Amino acid sequence: MITNRKLLTFLLCATGISVFFSTHDRRRFPKIFSLQQNTSVCACEKCLSEDELLEFNETVEPFLSANFRLSEDDFDWWKNLQDENRNFSTYRATVDMLFKIFPPSPKITEPSPDRCRSCAVVGNSGNLKGSHYGPLIDFQDVIIRMNAGQTKGYEVDVGNRTTHHIMYPESAIDLDNTTHLVLFPFKIMDFEWLIKALTTGFNGTSYMPVKSNITANKDLVMVINPGFIRHVHEMWLQNKGKYPSTGFMAVVLALHICDEVHVFGYGADNDGNWSHYWEKLKDKNLKTGIHPGHFEYEVIQQLAENHTLKFYSGW
Protein backbone atom coordinates (compact mmCIF):
# COMPACT_ATOMS: atom_id res chain seq x y z
CA MET A 1 0.00 0.00 0.00
CA ILE A 2 2.82 2.39 0.94
CA THR A 3 4.57 1.59 -2.32
CA ASN A 4 1.41 2.37 -4.27
CA ARG A 5 1.01 5.70 -2.50
CA LYS A 6 4.64 6.63 -3.25
CA LEU A 7 4.14 5.73 -6.90
CA LEU A 8 0.96 7.80 -7.11
CA THR A 9 2.68 10.78 -5.46
CA PHE A 10 5.59 10.51 -7.88
CA LEU A 11 3.30 10.42 -10.92
CA LEU A 12 1.34 13.46 -9.74
CA CYS A 13 4.54 15.43 -9.16
CA ALA A 14 5.95 14.43 -12.53
CA THR A 15 2.75 15.50 -14.23
CA GLY A 16 2.79 18.86 -12.45
CA ILE A 17 6.42 19.50 -13.38
CA SER A 18 5.70 18.57 -17.00
CA VAL A 19 2.74 20.97 -17.18
CA PHE A 20 4.80 23.74 -15.55
CA PHE A 21 7.68 23.45 -18.01
CA SER A 22 5.33 23.11 -20.97
CA THR A 23 3.52 26.35 -20.01
CA HIS A 24 6.80 28.06 -19.12
CA ASP A 25 8.33 27.17 -22.48
CA ARG A 26 5.26 28.44 -24.35
CA ARG A 27 5.63 31.79 -22.58
CA ARG A 28 9.36 31.99 -23.25
CA PHE A 29 9.18 30.82 -26.87
CA PRO A 30 5.71 31.78 -28.18
CA LYS A 31 6.90 31.96 -31.79
CA ILE A 32 8.25 28.41 -31.69
CA PHE A 33 5.03 27.04 -30.32
CA SER A 34 2.99 29.15 -32.73
CA LEU A 35 4.88 27.66 -35.64
CA GLN A 36 4.45 24.14 -34.28
CA GLN A 37 0.71 24.65 -33.95
CA ASN A 38 0.37 26.10 -37.45
CA THR A 39 2.39 23.56 -39.41
CA SER A 40 -0.73 22.19 -41.11
CA VAL A 41 -2.61 25.39 -41.95
CA CYS A 42 -2.33 24.57 -45.64
CA ALA A 43 -0.88 22.00 -48.01
CA CYS A 44 1.68 24.33 -49.61
CA GLU A 45 5.40 23.88 -49.11
CA LYS A 46 5.26 27.09 -47.07
CA CYS A 47 2.05 28.79 -45.94
CA LEU A 48 1.78 32.56 -45.67
CA SER A 49 0.18 32.32 -42.23
CA GLU A 50 3.31 30.56 -40.96
CA ASP A 51 5.64 33.35 -42.05
CA GLU A 52 6.93 35.33 -39.05
CA LEU A 53 7.97 38.19 -41.32
CA LEU A 54 4.41 39.01 -42.35
CA GLU A 55 2.96 42.21 -40.92
CA PHE A 56 -0.22 42.20 -42.99
CA ASN A 57 -2.13 39.84 -40.71
CA GLU A 58 -4.44 42.63 -39.58
CA THR A 59 -8.09 42.63 -38.55
CA VAL A 60 -9.05 45.03 -41.36
CA GLU A 61 -11.64 43.36 -43.59
CA PRO A 62 -10.50 43.34 -47.25
CA PHE A 63 -14.08 43.10 -48.60
CA LEU A 64 -17.40 44.70 -47.78
CA SER A 65 -20.31 42.55 -46.64
CA ALA A 66 -23.90 43.18 -45.63
CA ASN A 67 -22.93 42.98 -41.94
CA PHE A 68 -19.90 45.27 -42.21
CA ARG A 69 -20.21 48.89 -41.16
CA LEU A 70 -17.58 51.31 -42.43
CA SER A 71 -16.59 53.91 -39.83
CA GLU A 72 -17.41 57.53 -40.58
CA ASP A 73 -13.73 58.37 -40.14
CA ASP A 74 -12.77 55.90 -42.88
CA PHE A 75 -15.55 57.28 -45.06
CA ASP A 76 -14.25 60.85 -44.63
CA TRP A 77 -10.80 59.68 -45.78
CA TRP A 78 -12.16 57.67 -48.70
CA LYS A 79 -14.51 60.35 -50.06
CA ASN A 80 -11.54 62.63 -50.72
CA LEU A 81 -9.99 60.19 -53.20
CA GLN A 82 -12.14 61.52 -56.03
CA ASP A 83 -13.87 64.47 -54.34
CA GLU A 84 -17.10 62.76 -53.28
CA ASN A 85 -19.55 65.45 -52.12
CA ARG A 86 -22.34 63.27 -50.76
CA ASN A 87 -22.59 62.33 -47.10
CA PHE A 88 -22.14 59.21 -44.99
CA SER A 89 -25.88 58.50 -44.87
CA THR A 90 -26.03 58.38 -48.67
CA TYR A 91 -23.07 56.02 -48.70
CA ARG A 92 -24.74 53.65 -46.22
CA ALA A 93 -28.08 53.67 -48.05
CA THR A 94 -26.33 52.92 -51.35
CA VAL A 95 -24.32 50.03 -49.89
CA ASP A 96 -27.47 48.61 -48.28
CA MET A 97 -29.11 48.63 -51.71
CA LEU A 98 -26.01 46.98 -53.20
CA PHE A 99 -26.30 43.95 -50.95
CA LYS A 100 -29.95 43.44 -51.83
CA ILE A 101 -28.78 42.59 -55.34
CA PHE A 102 -25.37 40.99 -54.84
CA PRO A 103 -24.14 38.29 -52.39
CA PRO A 104 -24.25 39.56 -48.78
CA SER A 105 -20.75 38.23 -48.10
CA PRO A 106 -17.75 37.58 -50.38
CA LYS A 107 -17.10 34.04 -51.59
CA ILE A 108 -13.61 33.21 -50.35
CA THR A 109 -12.07 29.75 -50.12
CA GLU A 110 -11.11 29.23 -46.49
CA PRO A 111 -7.66 27.88 -45.53
CA SER A 112 -7.43 24.14 -44.95
CA PRO A 113 -4.62 21.69 -44.06
CA ASP A 114 -5.41 19.63 -47.17
CA ARG A 115 -5.50 22.56 -49.61
CA CYS A 116 -2.90 24.93 -51.10
CA ARG A 117 -4.55 28.12 -52.30
CA SER A 118 -1.97 29.22 -54.87
CA CYS A 119 -2.59 32.57 -56.56
CA ALA A 120 -1.26 34.39 -59.60
CA VAL A 121 -1.55 38.18 -59.59
CA VAL A 122 -1.16 39.33 -63.19
CA GLY A 123 -0.27 42.97 -63.72
CA ASN A 124 -0.43 44.73 -67.07
CA SER A 125 3.21 45.68 -67.58
CA GLY A 126 4.81 45.58 -71.00
CA ASN A 127 7.53 43.40 -69.50
CA LEU A 128 5.16 40.43 -69.93
CA LYS A 129 5.70 40.48 -73.70
CA GLY A 130 7.89 37.55 -74.66
CA SER A 131 7.92 36.18 -71.09
CA HIS A 132 6.15 32.86 -71.88
CA TYR A 133 4.66 32.89 -68.37
CA GLY A 134 1.23 31.80 -69.62
CA PRO A 135 1.35 28.10 -68.56
CA LEU A 136 2.74 28.99 -65.12
CA ILE A 137 0.01 31.59 -64.57
CA ASP A 138 -2.76 29.21 -65.65
CA PHE A 139 -1.39 26.52 -63.30
CA GLN A 140 -2.39 28.53 -60.19
CA ASP A 141 -5.76 28.04 -58.44
CA VAL A 142 -6.71 31.72 -58.22
CA ILE A 143 -5.77 34.09 -61.06
CA ILE A 144 -6.29 37.80 -60.43
CA ARG A 145 -6.26 40.31 -63.30
CA MET A 146 -7.18 43.97 -63.32
CA ASN A 147 -8.65 46.87 -65.27
CA ALA A 148 -8.35 46.46 -69.04
CA GLY A 149 -6.05 43.43 -68.75
CA GLN A 150 -6.85 40.97 -71.54
CA THR A 151 -5.80 37.49 -72.57
CA LYS A 152 -6.97 36.92 -76.16
CA GLY A 153 -3.95 36.88 -78.45
CA TYR A 154 -1.53 37.03 -75.51
CA GLU A 155 -2.12 33.59 -73.98
CA VAL A 156 1.51 32.43 -74.33
CA ASP A 157 2.74 35.27 -72.12
CA VAL A 158 -0.21 35.95 -69.78
CA GLY A 159 -2.33 32.77 -69.78
CA ASN A 160 -6.03 32.55 -70.54
CA ARG A 161 -7.71 31.79 -67.19
CA THR A 162 -9.15 34.42 -64.84
CA THR A 163 -10.91 33.78 -61.54
CA HIS A 164 -11.00 37.37 -60.18
CA HIS A 165 -10.95 40.63 -62.15
CA ILE A 166 -10.49 43.90 -60.26
CA MET A 167 -11.97 47.00 -61.89
CA TYR A 168 -13.69 50.35 -61.35
CA PRO A 169 -16.34 51.84 -63.67
CA GLU A 170 -13.86 53.74 -65.84
CA SER A 171 -11.76 50.59 -66.43
CA ALA A 172 -14.59 48.05 -66.71
CA ILE A 173 -14.67 45.20 -69.23
CA ASP A 174 -17.10 42.32 -69.78
CA LEU A 175 -16.41 39.07 -67.93
CA ASP A 176 -17.37 35.45 -68.43
CA ASN A 177 -19.80 33.64 -66.16
CA THR A 178 -17.11 32.04 -63.96
CA THR A 179 -15.07 35.14 -63.08
CA HIS A 180 -15.54 37.22 -59.93
CA LEU A 181 -16.05 40.91 -60.60
CA VAL A 182 -14.12 42.69 -57.83
CA LEU A 183 -15.09 46.37 -57.58
CA PHE A 184 -12.39 48.84 -56.48
CA PRO A 185 -14.63 51.77 -55.41
CA PHE A 186 -13.49 55.41 -55.23
CA LYS A 187 -16.83 57.19 -54.85
CA ILE A 188 -20.53 56.50 -54.20
CA MET A 189 -21.22 56.62 -57.94
CA ASP A 190 -19.10 53.48 -58.33
CA PHE A 191 -21.57 51.50 -56.20
CA GLU A 192 -24.47 52.97 -58.16
CA TRP A 193 -22.76 52.06 -61.42
CA LEU A 194 -22.29 48.44 -60.28
CA ILE A 195 -25.96 48.13 -59.33
CA LYS A 196 -27.31 49.61 -62.56
CA ALA A 197 -24.72 48.31 -65.03
CA LEU A 198 -25.77 44.77 -64.11
CA THR A 199 -29.54 45.49 -64.01
CA THR A 200 -31.36 48.39 -65.68
CA GLY A 201 -28.36 50.18 -67.21
CA PHE A 202 -26.29 53.11 -65.93
CA ASN A 203 -26.81 56.62 -67.32
CA GLY A 204 -24.58 58.69 -65.06
CA THR A 205 -21.39 60.57 -65.92
CA SER A 206 -17.82 60.42 -64.68
CA TYR A 207 -14.48 62.02 -65.51
CA MET A 208 -14.39 59.74 -68.58
CA PRO A 209 -16.99 57.59 -70.41
CA VAL A 210 -18.19 54.47 -68.57
CA LYS A 211 -20.02 51.39 -69.83
CA SER A 212 -23.79 51.61 -69.34
CA ASN A 213 -24.07 47.83 -69.12
CA ILE A 214 -21.58 45.14 -68.29
CA THR A 215 -21.64 41.36 -68.62
CA ALA A 216 -20.73 39.54 -65.40
CA ASN A 217 -22.11 36.97 -62.98
CA LYS A 218 -24.07 38.82 -60.26
CA ASP A 219 -23.54 35.92 -57.86
CA LEU A 220 -19.77 36.35 -58.02
CA VAL A 221 -19.55 40.09 -57.28
CA MET A 222 -17.13 41.24 -54.55
CA VAL A 223 -16.45 44.80 -53.33
CA ILE A 224 -13.22 46.07 -51.78
CA ASN A 225 -13.69 47.73 -48.40
CA PRO A 226 -12.87 51.50 -48.54
CA GLY A 227 -11.35 51.13 -45.07
CA PHE A 228 -8.98 48.49 -46.47
CA ILE A 229 -7.86 50.93 -49.18
CA ARG A 230 -6.95 53.38 -46.43
CA HIS A 231 -5.13 50.66 -44.50
CA VAL A 232 -3.02 49.75 -47.54
CA HIS A 233 -2.24 53.42 -48.25
CA GLU A 234 -1.19 54.25 -44.70
CA MET A 235 0.41 51.01 -43.50
CA TRP A 236 1.89 49.54 -46.66
CA LEU A 237 2.67 52.66 -48.69
CA GLN A 238 3.38 55.08 -45.83
CA ASN A 239 0.93 57.61 -47.31
CA LYS A 240 2.96 57.94 -50.51
CA GLY A 241 0.94 58.96 -53.57
CA LYS A 242 -2.76 59.82 -53.38
CA TYR A 243 -3.94 56.22 -53.09
CA PRO A 244 -2.75 52.69 -54.02
CA SER A 245 -2.83 51.52 -57.62
CA THR A 246 -5.21 48.73 -58.62
CA GLY A 247 -2.17 46.52 -59.14
CA PHE A 248 -0.81 47.02 -55.64
CA MET A 249 -4.25 46.50 -54.10
CA ALA A 250 -4.41 43.20 -56.01
CA VAL A 251 -1.13 42.03 -54.46
CA VAL A 252 -2.20 42.85 -50.90
CA LEU A 253 -5.61 41.23 -51.46
CA ALA A 254 -3.86 38.08 -52.67
CA LEU A 255 -1.76 38.02 -49.51
CA HIS A 256 -5.00 37.95 -47.52
CA ILE A 257 -6.87 35.23 -49.45
CA CYS A 258 -4.05 32.95 -50.67
CA ASP A 259 -1.52 30.60 -49.09
CA GLU A 260 1.06 31.09 -51.85
CA VAL A 261 1.32 34.17 -54.09
CA HIS A 262 3.00 34.49 -57.53
CA VAL A 263 3.25 38.02 -58.97
CA PHE A 264 3.68 38.75 -62.71
CA GLY A 265 3.67 41.84 -64.92
CA TYR A 266 4.71 44.63 -62.55
CA GLY A 267 7.11 47.52 -63.08
CA ALA A 268 8.41 49.28 -66.17
CA ASP A 269 9.15 47.60 -69.47
CA ASN A 270 12.65 46.95 -70.81
CA ASP A 271 12.95 50.59 -71.91
CA GLY A 272 11.92 51.97 -68.53
CA ASN A 273 8.40 52.88 -69.63
CA TRP A 274 5.27 52.03 -67.63
CA SER A 275 3.44 50.52 -70.58
CA HIS A 276 0.72 47.88 -71.10
CA TYR A 277 1.53 44.61 -72.83
CA TRP A 278 -1.38 44.91 -75.32
CA GLU A 279 -0.67 48.48 -76.40
CA LYS A 280 1.86 50.13 -78.67
CA LEU A 281 3.31 52.86 -76.48
CA LYS A 282 2.81 56.37 -77.88
CA ASP A 283 3.66 58.47 -74.84
CA LYS A 284 7.31 57.73 -74.01
CA ASN A 285 7.02 59.85 -70.85
CA LEU A 286 4.14 57.79 -69.44
CA LYS A 287 4.66 57.33 -65.69
CA THR A 288 2.51 56.17 -62.79
CA GLY A 289 0.54 59.38 -62.24
CA ILE A 290 -1.00 59.76 -58.80
CA HIS A 291 0.23 56.33 -57.74
CA PRO A 292 3.62 55.79 -56.06
CA GLY A 293 4.59 53.23 -58.69
CA HIS A 294 8.29 53.03 -57.94
CA PHE A 295 7.68 52.68 -54.20
CA GLU A 296 5.02 50.01 -54.75
CA TYR A 297 7.51 48.12 -56.93
CA GLU A 298 10.15 48.33 -54.18
CA VAL A 299 7.69 46.94 -51.63
CA ILE A 300 6.90 43.99 -53.90
CA GLN A 301 10.61 43.34 -54.43
CA GLN A 302 11.16 43.40 -50.66
CA LEU A 303 8.33 40.91 -50.13
CA ALA A 304 10.00 38.68 -52.71
CA GLU A 305 13.38 38.96 -50.96
CA ASN A 306 11.67 37.96 -47.71
CA HIS A 307 10.14 34.95 -49.51
CA THR A 308 6.65 36.22 -48.70
CA LEU A 309 5.73 35.96 -52.38
CA LYS A 310 7.34 34.88 -55.65
CA PHE A 311 8.02 37.69 -58.10
CA TYR A 312 8.55 37.18 -61.84
CA SER A 313 10.10 40.29 -63.38
CA GLY A 314 9.62 39.43 -67.07
CA TRP A 315 12.40 39.96 -69.60
Per-residue model confidence as pLDDT tens digits over 226-237: 999 999 999 999
Interval 287-310: pLDDT, tens: 545 567 789 999 999 999 999 999
pLDDT at 47: 84
Question: Is residue 124 annotated as involved in ligand binding?
Answer: yes
Q: Give the SS3 label for residue 259.
A: coil
Q: Any catalytic annotation for residue 243?
A: yes
pLDDT tens, residue by residue, 138-167: 999 999 999 999 999 999 999 999 999 999
**How far from 236 is each of 18, 55, 295, CA to CA, in Å?**
43, 9, 10
What does the pLDDT read at residue 6? 45
Please determine, for residue 11, whether its predicted confidence score (pLDDT) is greater than 70.
no
Cα separation of 74 and 228, whole Å? 9
On whether 285 is known to bind a ligand per the annotation, the reply is no
In this prediction the pTM is: 0.83
| 219 vs 179: CA distance, rounded Å | 10
Does the annotation flag 312 for ligand binding?
Answer: no
Mean pLDDT, the chain, rounded, equals: 84
Q: Catalytic residue among 243, 266, 277, 297, which? A: 243
**Which residue out of 262, 291, 297, 312 is catalytically annotated?**
291
CB 114 within 8 A of CB 263: no
> Does residue 35 register a pLDDT over 80?
no
Active-site residue flag, 291: yes
The 10s digit of each residue's pLDDT in 195-205 is: 999 999 999 98
Contacts of residue 298, Cβ cutoff 8 Å, sequence gap at least 6? none
Q: Is 276 annotated as a binding residue?
A: yes
Give residue 290's pLDDT.
58
147 is in an annotated binding site: yes
Are 103 and 288 in contact by the 8 Å Cβ rule? The answer is: no
Q: Give Cα 88 to chain centroid, integer Å.
A: 25
Tell me if 204 is assigned to a ligand binding site: no
